[in-house]
Amino acid sequence: MKNVFLLVLGALFVLASAATLPQGYEVGDYVADFKLRNVDGKEVSLANYANAKGLIVVFTCNTCPYAKLYEDRIIALNKQFAPKGYPVVAINPNDPSQQAGDSYQEMQKRAQEKSYGFPYLQDDTGSVAKAFGATRTPHIYILNKEAKGFKVEYVGAIDNNHKDAAAADQKYVEEAVGQLMSGKKPKTTSTKAIGCTIKWKEA
């Protein structure tokens, strides 16, 4: 009986800390593989990227004004870095029952309209976003491929000016990927930005 009590108590503590402590990957962590459905109907996982040097994982969506502000910059990042071995993988973590504009059909429409040159995956249960520790859209994770797997090298924003890409004087993602390409560690490994809260699927 006492053991059961302790177990329950332990479980409660785990739950309590899960609710308060920031979770997810930090710089230096290896990412567990995941499988999500792309807008073309096919499933995409990290295993699809056996030949990549790394990945620019972007948690984004159709509906957040901040994600929209950065959409063209995300497309440009893929154009710039996919040929160099660091393609973009976009993941939409919003629950479409709370945000109709983020339904699978709307995602397909958006990806087609803007000719995304990268997968746009639906994570409607939010499980991948939770594993990463993403909290907002847009939220970027740069991964570098090592023998052991994909390792997180940068977490944060794309640049330091949401209003105007041209006025940004710190292009965090561009700089970090550039540094990884030249075999160095990113100088800036973590930044913050304003964004929309993820519309989590309710349990």
Contact residues toward other proteins (CB under 8 A) are: 22, 65-66, 135-136, 139, 156-157, 160-163, 170, 172, 191-198
In 18-148, where do the E strands start and end? Answer: 35-38, 43-45, 54-59, 88-92, 120-122, 136-137, 139-146
* C-alpha–C-alpha distance, residues 24 and 156, integer Å: 13
Nearest-approach distance from CB 96 to other proteins, in angstroms: 14
* C-alpha–C-alpha distance, residues 74 and 56, integer Å: 9
The residue among 1 and 194 lying less far from other proteins, judged by its C-beta, is 194
* C-alpha–C-alpha distance, residues 78 and 90, integer Å: 10
The strands making up 149-156's β-sheet, listed across from edge to edge, are 43-45, 35-38, 120-122, 88-92, 54-59, 139-146, 149-156
Strand 43-45 to strand 35-38: parallel, antiparallel, or no bridges (unpaired)? antiparallel
Nearest-approach distance from CB 185 to other proteins, in angstroms: 19
The residue among 49 and 66 lying less far from other proteins, judged by its C-beta, is 66
The residue among 48 and 191 lying less far from other proteins, judged by its C-beta, is 191
The residue among 131 and 193 lying less far from other proteins, judged by its C-beta, is 193
Nearest-approach distance from CB 99 to other proteins, in angstroms: 8
The residue among 22 and 83 lying less far from other proteins, judged by its C-beta, is 22
Nearest-approach distance from CB 192 to other proteins, in angstroms: 4
* C-alpha–C-alpha distance, residues 24 and 136, integer Å: 13
Nearest-approach distance from CB 57 to other proteins, in angstroms: 16
The residue among 78 and 135 lying less far from other proteins, judged by its C-beta, is 135
Nearest-approach distance from CB 134 to other proteins, in angstroms: 9
Residue 142 has φ and ψ, to the nearest 5°, of -100, 125
